[in-house]
Chains A and B, each alone.
Chain A
Amino acid sequence: MLELQDITGGYGSVPIVQNISFNVEAGEIFSIVGPNGSGKSTLLKFIFGALEPDQGKIFIDHKPLSTYAPKALAKKVAVLPQHAETTFSFTVRQVVELGRYPYQKGLFSTQLEEDTKIVDQSMEETGVLSFADQPLDTLSGGERQRVFLARALAQEPDMLLLDEPTNHLDISFQISLLDTLKKWARTKKLTVVAVLHDLNMAAMYSDRTLLLKEGRQEALGKPAYVMEKNSLESVYKTELYRKEHPSVPSPLITLVPHTEKDVAENYIDGLLVTEETSHTCISSSIYWKTLSSAVIGAGFGWHRHFVNRHVDKNYNEDNPESEYMMFLQSLQIDSQDTTGMMTAASLADGAKVRVQDEDGDVFVYATAGTANAVDVSKAYEKHSQPVTIGTINIWIFIDGTLTEAAYTQVMMTATEAKAKALLDKDILDPDTGTPATGTSTDSMCVAATQQGDTYHYGGTISVLGKKIGKAVYEAVAETLDRYKERRRSYSQA
């Protein structure tokens, strides 16, 4: 559909765009990204013929761009402008009718019935038909953009070029515009070439992306390859962070604000532990990045209060999360800043273990009740639902920066350490009589300061994993001993 061969050029003698080559297939969504001044818009101007490149060739449908007459080109390629201010208040219909200009023949031609039909159709598809007779300047920015989209559609183009089409639009309009383009690309085989400034929009919607740096190609290919942390950081000269989109297979780029880091301070020393019969709260002055299976703040999050709440063993709420939030509110703890777990086990049995050396610093807090201990290998034979609440809650605090891989490995290491502690303390699954590996409602939270040393691994024999294994094993074993002690004293009494 579109082919660029070694395009170099710009406005003056200094070329803004240098040696750019790429192909775009029919029905493809191709995005051009890059920082301000990287030549994105200039490159687009070459494609719609507003600028002539100094060097290189552009082909549209295998024909050189320069051989197209203005009207013939307008039938192939439509452009959605970045912003279009008009002095005079044209109505929506008049604006959209301009899209039929390339189809006019002769000096004094008039509009044909077919033109009217296509204009109506274009307005229908972009949802602007209902205000066809309103002046353009009474519309909102998003509606106006849709009018220009209708005009582009009325040109019946094979290819649509967009220059930062989502500028000045609120999020819902951005999404609806790009959704529409995606639909047309699939249904009408419309080829879309878009300059986008939002990397995430580009990643989510384009089939391929061209990343420009100072007018040169930095990367070209699937967004997942192009949106690579290191090359983006070198292009944008700012710290970026790449994650995966939570619901669609596409990378998600976020920025990291520049902040002055505090002088090395040990945040584990700074943890403030408040112990009440109703709850234990561990608080910090900073936010920790947490990965947890807690009731409040599950998954990845940033938290600075860690609440292990004691509830009665008959606790039964339809919506434990909102009930928990009320509880936090009564303690005047911000639920947004909190990882919160529940246990029926006595908090007084809780154990705290800290393992610290020159290679790192790990602190573990654990509480345990094993009334419904489970042997995971036999769990499929169990039929009964647990009647009593018995839970092992493990809190792991790490001074350092963890990668997502390290978080996952720490979870695995800690789980193995827990299972080993249960085994060594002879905890049995009451149903099967076999050694238990955990209870049915265990929970775990891994929190790291994300400052200081970086840990790429948390496996059992890694620097970090060794400390995790030791601390978790010791904490769980200690709390199990206290738990058993209490049970024994109960039964003796």
Chain B
Amino acid sequence: MALSKNKKLPVYVVGMVFLIFCIILGTSQGSVTVPFGTTMKILWQALWAGDYANLDDSFVTIVLQVRLPRVLLAALVGASLSIAGAAFQGLLKNPLADPYTIGVSSGSAVGAVSVLFFGWSLPVIGTFTLPFISILSGFLTLLLLLAFVRFIEQSLATETIILAGIIVSSFLSAVISLIITFTGEELRQIISWLMGSVAMRGWDYVWLMLPFFIIGSLLLLANRSELNALVFGEETAKTLGVNTGKRRFMILAGASLLTGSAVASSGTIAFVGLVIPHLMRLLFGPDHRHLLPLSMCAGGGFLILTDLGARTFIAPAEFPIGVITSIIGAPIFGILLYQQKRRRAIIQRVRR
């Protein structure tokens, strides 16, 4: 499976259209259904003109103040986790890696859970204490991890990163469990945060997440060719002219930034970062030059859809979004995997 030159453009168009469609669908559906056309008009006005004269005020409020930030946050988180997952899988040469493999997310989670447990509130940033501490502790975890790996050996070998990641994340998970053991009334709050949600965040979280998303994505996209080379191993990448030390750090930093900010703003949403890159690879091949942007589109759209499911299936109550990602994602993944294995078997039979 690969994208030949003339198929690239249509695939990107489909990806963008899918994402835009998901945004519109996500903002129009919910407890109150805003007509599709109306939603499009409101979004159009919001983007270009800002003239809502002919539109229903309550619809405008619902779309722009309630749903759009939630949908955009879902898109950012989904896109972040997916592109980070794709990068981690390529960098670690392991299709089972995901943004949570190397423990950066556990670091973010420890930060967030601590804020909830101790009821911290930092001056000036106030309500943003949680995401701030969370991103910070995520990044500290990455630095700690890299220092640990460097301490073990000079080069940043893949296997050592994975192993060190497992050590770090199991340690931090234990810390989280420990905190939970001591919690009283914060328990429900902590558990629901850990399960992940993009609800009730508002525009502030979107603006908070956006710079991290942009920096992280650019870092990864700038290294898309390097990722292709790194898949063939450190030594091969070097002989192809890749400055492996620098590139590896850029990729780790970019992916950690994305993961940390996603976890900080919406908790640990499982499965997206593992399955979306995998899906895209099954559909369009493993070339990171296309895998990264396509994972971004698909991940963003996918998380909008699952969030839509989470808030509409048993409305007015909500499912945790992580539950939906797994319930929808797993079967799709299974079907695609089956089809790909069969196709591969056919290719091999034909060649013999």
**A interface list, Cβ under 8 A from B:** 45, 48-50, 69-75, 77-79, 81, 84, 86-91, 93-95, 98-99, 101-102, 104, 107-108, 133-135, 138, 155
Contacts and interface: CB of A to CB of B under 8 A. Distances in A.
Contacts of B242: 70, 101
Across chains A and B, which 9 residue pairs bring their CB atoms closest together, nearest first? A74-B241, A88-B286, A102-B241, A71-B241, A79-B239, A91-B2, A107-B222, A70-B243, A70-B241
A135 B287 CA distance: 11
B274 to A, nearest CB: 14
Contacts of A86: 93, 231-232
B202 interface: no
Contacts of A88: 90, 95, 231, 281, 286
Contacts of B4: 133
A49 B235 CA distance: 9
Q: Which of B221, B232, B238 has the most CB of A within 10 A?
A: B232
19 contacts: A48-B238, A49-B238, A70-B241, A70-B243, A78-B239, A79-B236, A81-B236, A86-B231, A88-B281, A89-B1, A89-B286, A91-B1, A91-B285, A94-B228, A95-B232, A101-B240, A102-B241, A133-B4, A135-B1
A87 B235 contact: no
Nearest to A143: B351
Contacts of B285: 89-91, 94
B342 interface: no
B94 interface: yes
B188 interface: no
B229 A135 contact: no
Contact of A90 (B226, B231, B236, B240): B231
A48 B281 contact: no
B293 to A, nearest CB: 11
Interface of B: 1-2, 4, 90, 93-95, 221-222, 225-226, 228-229, 231-233, 235-236, 238-243, 281, 285-287, 344, 347-348, 351
Contacts of A70: 238, 241-243
Contact of A155 (B2, B238, B240, B286): B240
A90 B241 contact: no
A87 B95 contact: yes
Contact of B239 (A74, A93, A94): A74
B243 A90 contact: no
A93 B1 CA distance: 11
Contacts of A134: 347, 351
A108 B235 contact: no
Nearest to B246: A70
B287 A138 contact: no
Nearest to B218: A107
A81 B233 CA distance: 10
B91 to A, nearest CB: 11
A73 B344 CA distance: 37
Nearest to A99: B240
Contacts of B222: 107-108
Contact of A98 (B228, B243, B344): B228
Q: In the complex, which of the residues B4, B93, B241, B281 has the most CB atoms of chain A within 10 Å of its own CB atom?
A: B241
Contact of A135 (B90, B225, B233, B347): B347
A107 B250 CA distance: 12
Nearest to A95: B232
A101 B229 contact: yes
B240 A98 contact: yes
A79 B215 CA distance: 34
B232 A84 contact: yes
Nearest to B239: A79
Given A87-B94, A88-B231, A138-B348, A101 B225 contact: yes
Contacts of A73: 241
A93 B240 contact: no
A90 B230 CA distance: 13
Contact of A50 (B226, B238, B281, B351): B238
A81 B228 contact: no
A91 B93 CA distance: 16
Contacts of B281: 88
A60 to B, nearest CB: 13
B239 A90 contact: no
A45 B93 CA distance: 22
Nearest to A154: B240
B241 A50 contact: no
Given A84-B233, A155-B240, 18 more contacts: A50-B239, A74-B239, A74-B241, A81-B233, A86-B231, A87-B93, A87-B94, A88-B95, A89-B1, A90-B286, A94-B287, A99-B240, A101-B225, A134-B351, A135-B1, A135-B344, A138-B348, A138-B351
B231 A87 contact: yes
B241 A75 contact: yes
A104 B239 contact: no
A108 B231 contact: no
